[in-house]
Structures are given as structure tokens and as C-alpha cells.
């Protein structure tokens, strides 16, 4: 097999060794964390340790972490009309989302379709704060869900500013920080998040574990998504995935400790990557390049390129990249993120996402650039031969 370079860290990150070790240790624990005997208490201890570790990654309290089976599930739990606070028991009447949210938020969670409204973003994919202020005025008890960083472009949203608007309107703020955590510093309180979603596998933990964090103890779901044995303080029933949770905790510790070094490493490599992409094909468009982005993400395109063709060409060269377009039932759909940013279909159709991580090397970037030389020159040759195609 040819040597491979993995550039799809936003889809999932490889397991960190610390997470693998913690999960393996927890897998060997025989007890159920709800049992009172020593075996049960050992499993409980592993979970509670991880709870504190995950909370520390975003400056939250251990008691405010609810473990779930994924980031998707945490989003579903959060997007509920039945959120109660100490002073407000009436249901949330409307849910507002940015137009670039992940599909697990875009579906509107447990709100009726008519109660969900999208708020526009600008050409860089950042939420239009004036539009948000207008929108939340229409509701008495709004819930707003805004991602901290976009999974396709890496663009960082003005979450703290949005939260101030939401709170002034008597609303609650949910922040999907799945892509941001471990890549940029995240502080729940500074962002003004009432709820925050995290996912283990994006920070080097195991797949199939997530968490919903709340800002205060009085925030409560009158309708937990999964009811049963009362685990996770009644917010998420089901025997806990002890190994997954322990791995999540260890990944959070490593991600937190190494954040500054890893971010600097990724940023330097990405600068080299983007300069190279443009040097090879000067018409290359890098989406969101003029605003704050995650240090590891580049979404780029050339007019007339087809993402699925480019993706296969990169794969054959030993490079795992991703298309900016979601593929469902065999049909490549244009990305809703680029559509919301007003990107022309001729550009959006070619969008390729390259996402880096802590093991990415300079040699990986050079291999990608060598492949880009071939992909982009093949495109310019074919558009010269058949000029109508690139239009
Ligand atoms: N939110 C964002 C922004 C994501 O990128 C993802 C995964 O791609 C999710 C939520 C869902 O997380 P999970 O894969 O744990 O269900």
C-alpha cells in the first residue's frame, strides 16, 4: 500500500495514546457504575474522574457534564422546548439556528418544524448579529443554537456577542463546540453558553461518546431524550459506556495540556499549505480566509472543479481529504454552508476540505501540494480543451 497522509481530522481524529490506555484500563473493569460494591465503585470512579477532566477542558464544573453516546445525541438532548430554569418552567417557544449548523442541529432537535428558524450568515459564514437580534425579538422564550466553529470552513462564530443578544431577549444559548474544543481555547462562561456540546472522537477520544454541558445546576430537561434507569442524574438513562467515557476524559486532558503547542504546529503547516495551494493555482479560493478560523481547517476550490473527482485523485495519491459537499443516497448535494455564504455553484461544487492534526507533518503537506499540482493542472488542461465546462 502507498504511504498515506490523513487530512480528515474534522471527520474524526485518530485515538490519542493516552485515550487508548485509559479506555483499555476501563474495559477491564467488571462492575456497573450503579452498583454499590467495590467493582461498581471502581467503574463509578473512572466515570467521575472523566467528568472532571471533560469539564476542565471548557472551564465547566464536573457536576454539569451529562455524558451521551455522541455529539449528535448531545445536540438532540439540548434542542428541546422543555428546558426549565429555576424561574421559568414554561416551554421555549422558538429555536433559532445559524444557517451553517451541523446537520444534527439543523434538524431542529425536538422542536416542531414550524418553531425552528434559520438566521443568515455573511459571505464569510459568520452569523449576522443584527439578523439574530431581529429574530429573537419574535419569541418570548427563545433557544438559540450556534456552533463555535464550522466543520467545513473552520470559521469561528461570534458566540459571545450572540449570547449577549440572546440573554438580553430572555433566551438561552446552546453552543456546539464539537469542532472547536481542543483546537482553540474554549471557556463556557466567557462565551456565555448555557449549554455546550462536545464529542470525544474529534479531540482524540473514542468514537461514540459525547457530552452536553450546562452552565448552571438549575438548567434542567423536563423531557430527557432517553428515560430509564436514572443514570446521568436522570438526564440520560442507560448503563454508562465506561471505557468510552474514560477515553474521553484522557483525551480531554491531553488536548487541554497540548493545545497551545498543537495549535501552533497546525497553524504553521496550514500557512504553508495555503501558500502552496495558491502558488500552484493562483485562482484557488480559500473560504473564510479573511476571518478567524480554526488553525487546522482549509476549505478551498477552483471554479469548474468537481469535488468527487478531485477527492478520488487525492485518494489515489495516498491522501485522505474530504469534499465540502455532503453525499447522501449516492447523490452529491451542494454544501448548505457554502450555499448560505452565497458561493456560486461552479465554485461550491469543487470544494475540498483539508483538515490537519497533531501528527500531520511537513512531508504530508508537501505530498498534498504535489497532488494538487496534478489535480489543478489536469483541470486547467481540460477547461482549455473544453472551455464551456468551467463556466
Ligand atoms: N457538531 C459538529 C459541528 C460536528 O462537526 C459533528 C460531527 O461531525 C457533530 C456535531 C456530531 O458529533 P458526533 O460525530 O459525535 O455525533
Cα(161)–Cα(147) distance, integer angstroms: 13
Q: Are 146 and 128 in contact (CB under 8 A)?
A: no
Cβ contacts of 260 within 8 Å, gap of 6 or more: none
3-class DSSP assignment, residue 23: helix
CA of 167 to the centre of ligand 1 (A): 25
C-alpha cell at 283: 485562482
Atom nearest to 199 CA in ligand 1: 15
d(CA 268, CA 216): 38
CA of 306 to the centre of ligand 1 (A): 25
CB 367 within 8 Å of CB 318: yes
DSSP reduced 3-state for 367:
helix
Known catalytic residues are: 327
What is the per-residue pLDDT for 114? 97
CA distance 196 to 215: 8
DSSP one-letter code for 173: E
Position in ligand 1 atom list of the atom nearest CA 11: 8
Instruction: Determine the 3-state secondary structure of 113 from DSSP.
Output: helix
Nearest alpha carbon to residue 185 among 9, 58, 292: 58
Maximum pairwise Cα distance, the chain: 75
Q: How far is the CA of 72 from the centre of ligand 1 (A)?
A: 6
Q: Are 97 and 145 in contact (CB under 8 A)?
A: yes
Tell me the C-alpha distance between 259 and 360, whole Å. Answer: 15
List the Cα angle 39/45/46 in 5-degree steps. Answer: 95
Please choose from 179, 186, 323 the residue to mutate so as to test ligand 1's pocket, defined by most ligand atoms within 8 A of CB.
Answer: 179
- Residue with grid cell 423531557, as numbered in its chain: 223
Q: Which single residue is written with the C-alpha cell 473493569? A: 29
| pLDDT single digits (tens) 330-347 | 556 789 999 999 999 999
Give the pLDDT confidence score for residue 334 in this predicted structure: 80
As given in the structure block, the three cell numbers for residue 216 are 448552571
151-179 confidence digits (pLDDT tens):
999 999 999 999 999 999 999 999 999 99
Phi, psi values for residue 36, rounded to 5°: -90, -10
Residue list, ligand 1 pocket, CB within 6 Å: 70-72, 75, 102, 104, 147, 151, 176, 178-179, 199, 210
pLDDT the model gives residue 249: 99
Contact 196, 174 (CB under 8 A): yes
User: Which uninterrupted H or E stretch holds 273?
Assistant: helix 242-280
CA distance 140 to 205: 39
**Residue pair 210/74 in contact by the 8 Å Cβ criterion:** yes
Give the pLDDT score at 380.
78
With CA atoms as reference, report the closest residue to 219 among 152, 285, 171, 148.
171
Interhelix angle for 362-385 vs 307-316, to 10°? 130
Q: Measure the CA–CA gap between 275 and 300, rounded to whole angstroms.
A: 12
Instruction: Give me the residues of the chain with pLDDT under 70, please.
Output: 1, 324-332, 385-391
Q: What is the pLDDT of residues 267-306, one digit of tens each?
A: 999 999 999 999 999 999 999 999 999 999 999 999 999 9
Q: Which atom of ligand 1 is nearest to the CA of 200?
A: 15
> What pLDDT, on the 0 to 100 scale, is given for residue 390?
40
Going by CA atoms, what residue is nearest to atom 8 of ligand 1?
11
Entry pTM? 0.96
Amino acid at each position: 500500500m502507498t504511504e498515506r497522509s490523513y487530512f480528515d481530522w474534522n471527520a474524526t481524529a485518530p485515538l490519542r495514546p493516552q485515550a487508548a490506555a485509559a479506555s483499555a484500563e476501563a474495559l477491564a473493569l467488571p462492575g456497573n457504575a450503579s452498583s454499590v460494591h467495590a467493582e461498581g465503585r471502581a467503574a463509578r470512579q473512572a466515570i467521575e474522574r472523566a467528568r472532571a477532566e471533560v469539564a476542565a477542558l471548557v472551564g465547566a464544573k464536573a457536576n454539569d457534564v451529562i455524558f451521551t453516546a455522541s455529539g449528535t445525541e448531545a445536540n438532540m438532548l439540548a434542542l428541546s422546548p422543555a428546558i426549565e430554569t429555576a424561574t421559568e418552567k414554561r416551554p421555549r417557544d422558538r429555536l433559532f439556528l445559524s444557517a451553517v449548523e451541523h446537520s444534527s442541529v439543523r434538524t431542529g432537535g425536538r422542536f416542531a418544524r414550524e418553531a425552528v428558524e434559520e438566521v443568515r450568515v455573511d459571505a464569510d459564514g459568520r452569523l449576522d448579529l443584527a439578523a439574530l437580534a431581529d429574530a429573537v425579538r419574535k419569541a418570548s422564550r427563545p433557544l438559540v443554537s450556534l456552533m463555535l466553529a464550522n466543520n467545513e470552513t473552520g470559521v469561528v462564530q461570534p458566540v459571545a456577542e450572540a449570547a449577549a443578544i440572546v440573554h438580553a431577549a430572555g433566551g438561552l444559548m446552546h453552543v456546539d463546540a464539537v469542532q472547536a474544543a481542543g483546537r482553540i481555547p474554549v471557556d463556557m462562561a466567557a462565551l456565555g453558553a448555557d449549554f455546550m456540546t462536545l464529542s470525544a472522537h474529534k479531540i482524540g477520544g473514542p468514537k461514540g461518546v459525547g457530552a452536553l454541558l450546562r452552565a448552571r445546576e438549575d438548567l434542567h430537561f423536563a423531557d430527557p431524550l432517553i428515560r430509564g434507569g436514572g443514570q446521568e442524574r436522570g438526564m440520560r438513562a442507560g448503563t454508562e459506556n465506561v471505557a468510552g467515557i474514560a477515553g474521553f476524559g484522557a483525551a480531554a486532558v491531553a488536548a487541554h495540556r497540548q493545545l497551545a503547542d498543537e495549535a501552533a504546529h497546525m497553524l504553521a503547516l496550514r500557512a504553508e499549505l495555503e501558500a502552496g495551494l495558491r502558488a500552484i493555482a493562483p485562482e484557488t479560493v480559500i473560504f473564510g480566509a479573511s476571518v478567524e478560523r480554526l488553525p487546522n481547517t482549509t476549505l478551498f476550490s477552483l471554479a469548474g472543479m468537481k469535488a468527487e473527482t478531485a477527492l478520488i485523485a487525492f485518494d489515489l495519491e495516498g491522501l485522505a481529504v474530504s469534499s465540502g459537499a455532503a453525499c447522501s443516497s449516492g447523490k452529491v448535494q451542494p454544501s448548505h454552508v457554502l450555499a448560505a455564504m452565497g458561493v456560486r455553484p461552479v465554485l461550491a461544487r469543487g470544494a475540498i476540505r483539508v483538515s490537519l492534526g497533531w501528527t500531520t507533518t511537513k512531508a504530508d503537506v508537501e505530498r498534498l501540494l504535489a497532488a494538487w499540482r496534478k489535480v489543478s493542472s489536469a483541470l486547467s488542461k481540460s477547461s482549455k480543451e473544453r472551455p464551456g465546462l468551467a463556466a
